[in-house]
Amino acid sequence: MREQTRSYIAQITTHFEHQFATIIDSHLQSIQQQVNLTNIDILKFQLSALRKLPHIAPHTSITDLPEDQYRAITVLTNMMGSRNNHGHIIF
């Protein structure tokens, strides 16, 4: 499961990086055609430095817990219900 999560995060990160590069390249081509800049590489370098990828959370963070914490969460969820339930079992 952890390997699948890492693979998913790597895939999404690559997708965001590709989207960012595509947007930057298209805007720089448009600017270069309109303004006739010769040092467009400097502008591209500066814009690339602004790239900050969003935090990508795994599908479930519970799978990353140590085994004892995972078991504790499982017991509590089974005994008290999930967060989606609007109440708890009354003893």
Alpha-helix residue ranges (DSSP H) falling in 1-91? 2-35, 40-49, 67-80
- Measured distance CA(6)–CA(68) in Å, rounded: 22
**Where are the chain's structural domains?**
2-59, 62-91
Question: For residue 33, what pLDDT band results from cuts at 50, 70 and 90?
Answer: confident
Mean pLDDT rounded to a whole number for the chain: 76
- Residue 75: its pLDDT value, please? 84
Q: What is the mean pLDDT of residues 7-35?
A: 86
Task: Specify the higher pLDDT residue, 66 or 61.
Answer: 66
Residue 62's Cβ-side half-sphere holds a number of Cα atoms within 13 Å equal to 9
Residue 61 is classified by DSSP as G
Residue 51 contacts by C-beta under 8 Å, 6 or more apart in sequence?
Answer: 17, 20
Q: Is pLDDT at 55 greater than 70 in this prediction?
A: no
Residue 62 is classified by DSSP as G
